Every structure is written in structure tokens, then in C-alpha cells.
Amino acid sequence: MDPDDDAVRNLRVAFDDALGQKPGVERVVEVRLPTTYGEFRAVGYLDHRSGIEQVALVHGDVAGELTLARMHSECLTGDAFASTHCECGDQLSAALRAIVAEGRGILVYLQGHEGRGIGLLAKLQAMKLQEGGLDTVEANIALGLPVDARDYGAAAEILRDLGVRSVRLMSNNPRKREALVRHGIPVAEQVPLLMPPRAENIRYLRAKRERLDHDLPHLDGITGLS
Ligand SMILES: Nc1nc2c(ncn2[C@@H]2O[C@H](COP(=O)(O)OP(=O)(O)OP(=O)(O)O)[C@@H](O)[C@H]2O)c(=O)[nH]1
Ligand SMILES: [Zn+2]
């Protein structure tokens, strides 16, 4: 990036701070991103409040109403390492495929959301506690950490910046929908993103359903996995 851009950004941050207005996300870069799923644009943002860098993957013309959208919480183990502890990696692939099949849509990859907001190392510690028998909620509590510390303000601002007026949200989490609505993004529909359970994650998925109210009706009647 041009060093002048940095200077302008710093000035703007200082100016906004002086006015008592916290600046939000700023669009920093936009680049073509061909993927094995199809062609995307990667739109990079800096969230001035948190200092976190965010990326939206955009396919087709996303401005307007009823845009198919996924607010994907970062999960290094699931998304990059294909861990089967959770279903994040499967959901990431399924969401990108669905967006390309639809011809337009957006995936915001939310950094800062790792481990439902507690961070990578704490998540690994929580996973270790789950090996010892705690469920995913009990594990966070045992660590003295919030069960869910995620914030969706930056996600909502990114959607607005891209001209999205309402979304069809790919998620099974009703609290994610409520959070987006609270941040001013109308959710016209919650589109289920149900992944087949595996022996390694059936207990985790049941805990999400029972303790975190995720809509996971496909778990009904599943036997033989644990
Ligand atoms: N604390 C904690 N976080 C986990 C664990 N397993 C996965 N995660 C994190 O959970 C986040 C995803 O949240 P989930 O509750 O699985 O799903 P969601 O994003 O709320 O809902 P969907 O939109 O339906 O995917 C990711 O950031 C993962 O890193 C775990 O055992 N403990
Ligand atoms: Zn995960």
C-alpha cells in the first residue's frame, strides 16, 4: 500500500477520535480471486476499532436485496486443517459452492471470531477439556471465558459497504441472525447449512443444539455415531 494511504488513514482516525466518533471498517483493497469453487473478488477491510483485518469474498453482483450471505467465523483447525472436531470446514466449502451455484453472494470470513471469540489457544484448551468429558459450553466456562464473545458489527458494516440491503443468511445459529439484525442488516431468511454429522463431532453438534439453540434438526434420529 502507498505510504500516503497510511498517513491519510492515521489522520482520519485521529480526526474521528477527536470528534469522539469511532471509525468503523475501511475498504483497503480489492482483487480478483479465482478459486476451485469459481471466481470471487476478495475485498479487504481494516476494522479501525479492533485493528483486525477482514476479508469478504464476493461473487457476482451482491448489491441490493436478498443476497445469499455467509458470515463465517474463523476456525483455523476446521477451515485450514480440515479437522472433524467441528463442521466449520465442511460449511465453508458448502457456502462457497452455494454462492457460486446461486450466481451471486458473499462470504465474510470473520477473523477475531476464532473459538467463538476466545482465540485459538483458548479454543485448543477448550477442545482438550472436551476430550476429558466436558461439552463445548462447559469447557469455555471452566476456562473462565465467555461461551460466545463474537461481535458482528464489522460484518454488518462490510455488508453495507458492499451495498447489501438484506440477506438470506446461511447459518444454523439463531443468535447470529439476531446479531446481524441488531446491527441493522435485515435477514429475510435463515438458510440452513447442515453438514452430515461424523463420529468425531456428533457430541459437539448435539451440545450446540441443546445448549446454544442451533437449528440442527438433521440430528434427530441419528444413531450409531456415538
Ligand atoms: N470455544 C470453542 N469454539 C469452537 C469449538 N469448536 C469450534 N469452535 C469455534 O466455533 C466457531 C463457529 O461457531 P459455531 O458455534 O460452530 O457455529 P456458528 O458459526 O455460530 O453457526 P453457523 O453459522 O451455523 O456455522 C468457530 O470460530 C470455531 O473456531 C470448541 O470446541 N470450543
Ligand atoms: Zn470449527
Q: What pLDDT shows up at residue 222?
A: 76
Ligand 2 ion: residues within 5 Å (CB): 75, 78, 86, 88
Alpha-carbon span 133 to 92, nearest angstrom: 27
Q: What pLDDT shows up at residue 182?
A: 97
Residue-level length of the chain: 226
Q: What is the SS3 assignment for 32?
A: strand
Instruction: Report ipTM for this prediction.
Output: 0.98
Model pLDDT for residues 78-107, shown as the tens digit of each residue:
999 999 999 999 999 999 999 999 999 999
Q: What pLDDT shows up at residue 3?
A: 46
Alpha-carbon span 98 to 101, nearest angstrom: 5
- Determine whether the shortest distance from the Cβ of 177 to ligand 1 is under 6 A: no
Q: What pLDDT shows up at residue 162?
A: 98
Sign of the dihedral defined by the CA atoms of residues 190, 40, 185, 178, in that order: positive
Which range scores top for mean pLDDT: 18-22, 138-142, 222-226?
A: 138-142
Residue 116: nearest ligand to its CA?
1
71 assigned binding-site residue:
yes
Model pLDDT for residues 18-32, shown as the tens digit of each residue:
554 556 999 999 999
Among 79, 90, 135, 150, the active-site one is 150
For 59, counting Cβ atoms within 10 Å of its Cβ (0-12 exposed, 13-18 middle, 19+ buried), the class is: buried
Position 221 pLDDT exceeds 80: no
Model pLDDT for residues 159-209, shown as the tens digit of each residue:
999 999 999 999 999 999 999 999 999 999 999 999 999 999 999 999 999
Looking at the chain, the whole-number percentage of residues with pLDDT higher than 90 is 86
Give the CATH architecture of domain 24-113+150-219.
Answer: 3-Layer(aba) Sandwich (3.40)
Identify whether 151 is a catalytic site residue: no
Pocket test for ligand 1, best of 73, 87, 210, 218 (most atoms within 8 A of CB): 73
Cell of 164: 447489501
Q: What pLDDT shows up at residue 12?
A: 56
